[in-house]
Chains A and B, each alone.
Chain A
Amino acid sequence: MASQKKERRLAFLATALPPIAWVVAFFLAPLAIVWAYSFGQNVSLTEVDISGTFANYARALQPLYLGIFAKSIFVAGITTLLCLIIGFPVALSIVFASERWRAWILLLIMLPFWTNLLIRTYALIAVLRTQGYVNFTLEWFWDQGSWLMTLVGLEPLGDFTPLQLLYNNFAVVFGLVYVHLPFMVLPLYAALDRLDKSLIEASLDLGAGHIRTLFLIVVPLALPGIISGIIITFVPALGAYLTPDLLGGPDSQMIANVIERQFKKANDWPFGAALSFLLMYATFAAIALRVYFTRGKSTDAGHGI
């Protein structure tokens, strides 16, 4: 009995040690260095003295930077909400699709992952800009409409004014939704797929409509998946910097852009480290919130029974 236990512990150690060593060496150790930097100050162009100062955090908590944090949280929040609204029906349709179609739709969802983010973003630029495919298409329809108007003897439409789709906050949110949608769809699909479909049938049999069934049966049962989806969409969206950089307008700065500048142009690593850690605390808070939510749910369910 005892030896069996010991053997099991050995097996556990043998399998767990490599990943633990990996996490320590390549995640926790570098993180600790950045964390230490956040309590340092520049003493020369290349040296940082870790003096234990809180000056970087004090600076990071100024209204200027808090405002940028708030804006980033807002943009990431909108992105997450849109991903949820778009992703939920998509996930539902995958679940109810036939076996053959399901594989194809899942493949289509994953396909963008096989392309570099930068390439996808540059492609979006070509689609959205003034001389881009969206505006070309709209212009074509506009011209056809104009031609039809003259055909029936009416005044033709005026000149086509291209839509300003690029270099503004709309473009940033659009780009972020486009990039992060798969992060939302996949956990939703996983949750909905596990769902016992007889419960939906029961709800419909007992007289609930489709909408009511969706919100009273499907959504609560899929809640853990929804929360996972929200977290893994929100966290990377909060730290996005390529998208606001390339698609954003004059006021589309997000906190990650400020952080990037500290490590490059401003050459102020301690301040950049402090900002990064504030961002990370915000992320931890989001994850803690998730734990709190899911725990509350499971005990509720327990009481219900």
Chain B
Amino acid sequence: MSDERTKALFGPHSRRSILKGLGAAAVGITLTGRKHSAWAADEEKKLNFYNWDTYIGETTLEDFAEASGIDVNMSLFATNDELFAKLRAGNPGYDVIVPGSEFVQRMIEAKLLEPLDHSKIPNIKNIAPEFMEDAPFDPGRKYSLPYTWLVIGIGYRKSKVDGVPDSWKYLFDSDKYAGKITVMSDASELFRNCFKYLGGSLNDASPELLKKAEAMLIKQKPHIKAFHEDNGQDLLLSGEVDLAMEYNGDIAQIMTEDDDIDFVVPKEGAMKQQDTLAIPKGAPHPENAHKFINFIFEPEVGAEISSTILYPSPNAAAVKLMPADYRDNKVIFPPADVMAKCEWPNYLGPEFSRMLDEAMTRLRAA
């Protein structure tokens, strides 16, 4: 028992959980902002990598240093918003960043990204073709390459629910599991998945749909235990809730600790996301950055990363090297028929962002 408790508190936290809170305390691991070197062709053997927590293979950085002689200095961020806020005032010295797909679009619009030189990344051939083609947030993948992808769904405790809770209804529109559910506190993730439940598209920026979703959630609010800051898997693991709106990778990680937990993508479809590798404007070591990105797409390197972080990988050559319990894992790779109903979120513009935030404020204040 006590063992379980310690695990719940200090066990492996996903990139989206504990650092999120630490972000409040402005935790940054060392960062030496280096200015452009005058001899760009002959860059110093350094690279500043800005990544999520627990989002790289155990030996990836050492392996890269060994292969290329380039030392990687990794610092961590906890939310896309934090990444954006840091870069909006000017790149403090990062070479490679890992923005989510919606933010890729935002950053392209804000001219914060450097175009990638695909000729310097031959390992692009290892990426599954659909990820190169289906990328409305970055047509032609000029600025970003897929690092991992993820999908939002419902993580649940098998012994406490009837059958498989395969609909958003149980989280958004029902008192069946009153007091035992938690949903995300991010306005975009929460409301736009409600759009899917209400039969719309999550890229529909209509105020009417938003109003409908808001009314539904205000009605649902008394049954919601907490709006979680991306630590839904902790609430589920510690028994605080029985159903949690969460990313598949986060649930896959805790399923290795507790076999009473499972995950389902609701039948109405859901938001899928991609975390990408990109080079921010003003990166001090762009050559090294291209080398690093190319290295990540080596099959063995990709497999090393996937076996550590358990997120679905778009690197087809790497997935082939993975054991069957990863490749055939229904949580990491949900069935194709339900995935077909999932959508990448577009950036819907500042006006809609503001409406989303106000809806969230009203919901929380209601």
* A and B associate in one complex: yes
Residues of A within 8 A of B (CB): 42, 44-46, 64-65, 67-68, 71, 116-118, 121-122, 125-126, 129-131, 164, 166-167, 241-242, 245-246, 248-251, 253, 257-258, 261-268
A45-B106, A122-B9, A267-B81 given as contacts; is B365 within 8 A of A261 (CB)?
A: no
Neighbouring A residues of B8 by C-beta, 8 Å: 131
Which one of B88, B229, B357 lies within 8 Å of A245 (CB-CB)? B229
Neighbouring B residues of A131 by C-beta, 8 Å: 5, 8, 238-240
- Chain B 15-58 per-residue mask, 1 if CB under 8 angstroms from chain A, else 0: 00010011011000000000000000000000000000000000
Kindly state whether residue B227 has any CB partner on chain A within 8 Å: yes
Kindly state whether residue B121 has any CB partner on chain A within 8 Å: no
Q: Which residue of A lies closest to B188 (CB)?
A: A265
Q: Which residue of A lies closest to B186 (CB)?
A: A265
Q: Which residue of A lies closest to B4 (CB)?
A: A131
A45-B350, A131-B239, A264-B79 given as contacts; is B364 within 8 A of A253 (CB)?
A: yes
Kindly state whether residue B67 has any CB partner on chain A within 8 Å: no
Instruction: Please tell me the number of chain B residues within 8 Å of chain A, measured between CB atoms.
Output: 44
12 examples of A-B residue contacts, CB within 8 angstroms = A45-B350, A64-B362, A65-B361, A116-B25, A118-B22, A121-B21, A130-B240, A131-B239, A246-B21, A250-B221, A261-B361, A267-B350
A250 touches B24 (CB 8 A): no
A42 touches B350 (CB 8 A): yes
Q: Which residue of A lies closest to B107 (CB)?
A: A45
Closest chain-B Cβ to A18's Cβ sits at a distance in Å of 25
Closest chain-B Cβ to A162's Cβ sits at a distance in Å of 9
Closest chain-A Cβ to B275's Cβ sits at a distance in Å of 17
Closest chain-A Cβ to B277's Cβ sits at a distance in Å of 21
In the complex the two chains form, what is the Cα distance from A113 to B18 in whole Å?
A: 21
Closest chain-A Cβ to B260's Cβ sits at a distance in Å of 14
In the complex the two chains form, what is the Cα distance from A166 to B239 in whole Å?
A: 13
Which one of A118, A121, A265 lies within 8 Å of B81 (CB-CB)? A265
In the complex the two chains form, what is the Cα distance from A116 to B22 in whole Å?
A: 10
Which one of A45, A46, A246, A261 lies within 8 Å of B360 (CB-CB)? A261
B5 touches A126 (CB 8 A): yes
Kindly state whether residue B353 has any CB partner on chain A within 8 Å: yes
A46 touches B240 (CB 8 A): no
Closest chain-A Cβ to B364's Cβ sits at a distance in Å of 4
Which one of A246, A251, A268 lies within 8 Å of B366 (CB-CB)? A251
| Top 6 A-B residue pairs of the complex, sorted by shortest distance between their CB atoms | A264-B81, A266-B357, A253-B364, A45-B110, A167-B226, A46-B88
Kindly state whether residue B82 has any CB partner on chain A within 8 Å: yes
A45 touches B24 (CB 8 A): no
Main secondary structure of the interface of B (DSSP, over half): helix
A67 touches B353 (CB 8 A): no
- Chain B 312-337 per-residue mask, 1 if CB under 8 angstroms from chain A, else 0: 00000000000000000000000000
Closest chain-A Cβ to B193's Cβ sits at a distance in Å of 16
Neighbouring B residues of A258 by C-beta, 8 Å: 361
Q: Which residue of A lies closest to B183 (CB)?
A: A250
A129-B238, A250-B225, A261-B361 given; name 18 further pairs at CB < 8 Å.
A64-B361, A64-B362, A67-B365, A122-B21, A126-B9, A130-B240, A131-B238, A245-B229, A246-B21, A250-B227, A251-B366, A253-B365, A261-B357, A264-B81, A265-B188, A266-B187, A267-B350, A268-B350
Neighbouring A residues of B18 by C-beta, 8 Å: 122
In the complex the two chains form, what is the Cα distance from A35 to B252 in whole Å?
A: 45
Neighbouring A residues of B79 by C-beta, 8 Å: 264
Neighbouring B residues of A71 by C-beta, 8 Å: 365
Neighbouring B residues of A249 by C-beta, 8 Å: 225-226
Q: Which residue of B lies closest to A42 (CB)?
A: B350
B84 touches A267 (CB 8 A): yes
Q: Which residue of B lies closest to A265 (CB)?
A: B81
Neighbouring A residues of B186 by C-beta, 8 Å: 265
Kindly state whether residue B340 has any CB partner on chain A within 8 Å: no
Q: Which residue of B lies closest to A247 (CB)?
A: B226
Neighbouring B residues of A251 by C-beta, 8 Å: 221, 364-366
In the complex the two chains form, what is the Cα distance from A68 to B187 in whole Å?
A: 18
Q: Which residue of A lies closest to B364 (CB)?
A: A253
B85 touches A129 (CB 8 A): no
A46 touches B112 (CB 8 A): yes
In the complex the two chains form, what is the Cα distance from A164 to B22 in whole Å?
A: 26
Neighbouring A residues of B21 by C-beta, 8 Å: 118, 121-122, 242, 245-246
Neighbouring B residues of A44 by C-beta, 8 Å: 110
Neighbouring A residues of B360 by C-beta, 8 Å: 261
In the complex the two chains form, what is the Cα distance from A68 to B365 in whole Å?
A: 7
A264 touches B82 (CB 8 A): yes
Neighbouring A residues of B188 by C-beta, 8 Å: 265
Neighbouring A residues of B238 by C-beta, 8 Å: 129-131
